[in-house]
Amino acid sequence: MNHSFDALIIGAGQAGPSLAGRLTAAGWTVGFVERKNFGGTCVNTGCTPTKAMIASAKAAHTLRQATNYGLPPAGDFTVDLAQVVARKDAIVAASRASLEKWLTQMPGCTVFRGTARFLSPTTMQVDDAVLEAKHIFLNVGGRPAIPALPGIDQLPFLTSSTILALEELPTHLIIVGAGAVGLEFAQLFRRLGSQVTIVERSPRLLPHDDEDVAAAVADILTSEGITLRLGAECISMALEDGQPVVHVSCEEDPSSSRGSHLLLAMGRQPNTDDLDLAKAGLQADARGYLPVDEELRTTVPGIWALGDCNGRGAFTHTAYNDFEIVAANLLNHEQRRVSDRLPVSAIYVDPPFAKVGLTEAEVRAAGTPALIGKRPMTKVGRAVEKGETKGFIKVLVHAETDQILGASIVGVGGDEAIHCIITAKYAQQTAAFMRRNVFIHPTVSELIPTVFGELKPLETAVQ
């Protein structure tokens, strides 16, 4: 059957549903296609389930730390993973259901369930339905990448999606890949009671971030008993005596990591390979991303790509910002651009690592005249009171213009506290502006004006 709309939106991830809301409110008719779970990665297999389980892991960790807070010991306890997963599933289900209800009841929006494939630049097929529109918005996201490592086809492995359904704790979880996925799952499962080993080919954690950040995150993890096997050359896998074994060296290696479960956390792959792109005249790049311009238009007029599939962001906030850019430009005739947004992100190890703008290494490499301010969390009153003193606050400022170049916070509350720096930087404010601000006591944020008041020339600062 043929259906005609003003717009087609493919994928109910972080950009598509909100775009449907804006377009239909403006009087457009929308055909919306989702093949699996409403809410996409973030709601179903990404942010929401991991942060829900991280909260359970934090509670378990705090119980074990009871005596540090002057409380009686909690005693030995074993976590029932099924209960933790049930709590997580309830949170995910509520979020997914609310989104599905909103979309399916949205006036002007018709939802199709199935995989959409191009027939031409203006038509797509979903099962036996042919959908036609002058505007097509692809929000197809991605899935865990499975690199062809030697031996990988010889043994069972988990991905960031399938690990969320485990109901029994792994006795020893081996994680290959130390990006956000690897680090968050490592601490989460360690705190729930698993032994955890991370295998990473890079010689240190977080190679795109500063060395002091990587060292602080490594300390957070190793102090809880997580084993790091960094600089792993020639990663290969095998099943030995029924157990997954990860070899980490090109040499005959007696110190391979043997565990009960294996999690592959080696990045993601965009879902562009089954869209029949060629029929629309589209071509993905070598990594599968759809090239887009600053306003997220693909190379074919009338087709946009939003979210993870365009390679311009890999976060929920970047996917959502893509929606805002497209809606503002199409409906309000603004000229918002992808490059207007600041690079911001957080990794939810506990305490978390959050950042905005340039790293210290990037500032040094650019040769920008800069000032640096840094304060350990041991000198942040709120962190001391909470008994969580790992990490630091670090800010970078242009030595001549006084503008904020970047900031990193590894430490308790850092994922929230960073936002005062994000806002000031977006407003192109200066260190002097930050110093004059009065923040609430006692918070982690209240020390941020102090850090901006203790700046030293970058060249002479000790890392």
Ligand X SMILES: NC(=O)c1ccc[n+]([C@@H]2O[C@H](COP(=O)([O-])OP(=O)(O)OC[C@H]3O[C@@H](n4cnc5c(N)ncnc54)[C@H](O)[C@@H]3O)[C@@H](O)[C@H]2O)c1
Point out the residues that are catalytic. 441
Backbone φ, ψ for residue 362 (5° rounding)? -65, -40
CA quadruple 106, 110, 114, 118: dihedral positive or negative? Answer: negative
* Contacts of ligand FAD in 217-276 (CB under 6 A): 271, 275
Binding ligand FAD (rule: CB under 6 A), the pick from 9, 21, 22, 50 is 50
Q: How do strand 116-120 and strand 344-347 relate by DSSP bridges? A: unpaired
Bridge partners of 383, per DSSP, are none
Nearest residue to 369 via CA among 403, 408, 331, 322: 403
Contacts of 131 (CB under 8 A, 6+ apart): 2, 3, 4, 5, 8, 31, 33, 112, 116, 123, 124, 125
DSSP-derived pairing of the beta strands 172-176 and 142-144: unpaired
Long-range Cβ pairs for the range 245-254 (8 Å, 24+): 246/174, 246/176, 246/199, 247/151, 248/199
Which among ligand FAD, ligand X, none contacts residue 200 (Cβ within 5 to 8 A by kind)? ligand X
Q: 414 labelled as ligand-binding?
A: no
Contact call for residue 311 and ligand FAD (CB under 6 A): no
Q: How far apart are CA 211 and CA 147, in angstroms?
A: 27
Candidates 20, 52, 109, 116: give the one binding ligand FAD (CB under 6 A): 116
Binding site residues, ligand X, CB under 6 A: 147, 149, 177-182, 184, 200-202, 235, 265-268, 314-315, 345-348
Q: In angstroms, what is the minimal distance from the CB of 265 to ligand FAD?
A: 8
Is 210 a residue that touches ligand FAD (CB under 6 A)? no
Choose from ligand FAD, ligand X, none: what does 35 bind? Cβ within 5-8 Å by kind: ligand FAD
- Scanning 206-214, 291-299, 312-320, 332-340 for contacts with ligand FAD by CB under 6 A, the matching segment is 312-320
Strand-pair partners of 240: 243
- 308 sits near ligand FAD (criterion: CB under 6 A): yes
Q: C-beta of 348: minimal distance to ligand FAD in Å? A: 6
Q: Taking Cα atoms as reference points, which of 197, 221, 193 lies closest to residue 57?
A: 193
Flag whether 177 is marked binding. yes
Binding residues for NAD(+): 177-184, 200, 267
Binding residues for FAD: 51, 308
Please give the residue ranges that form the binding site for ligand FAD (CB under 6 A).
Answer: 10-15, 33-37, 40-42, 45-47, 50, 115-116, 139-142, 160, 181, 271, 275, 307-308, 314-317, 319, 348
Binding residues: 51, 177-184, 200, 267, 308
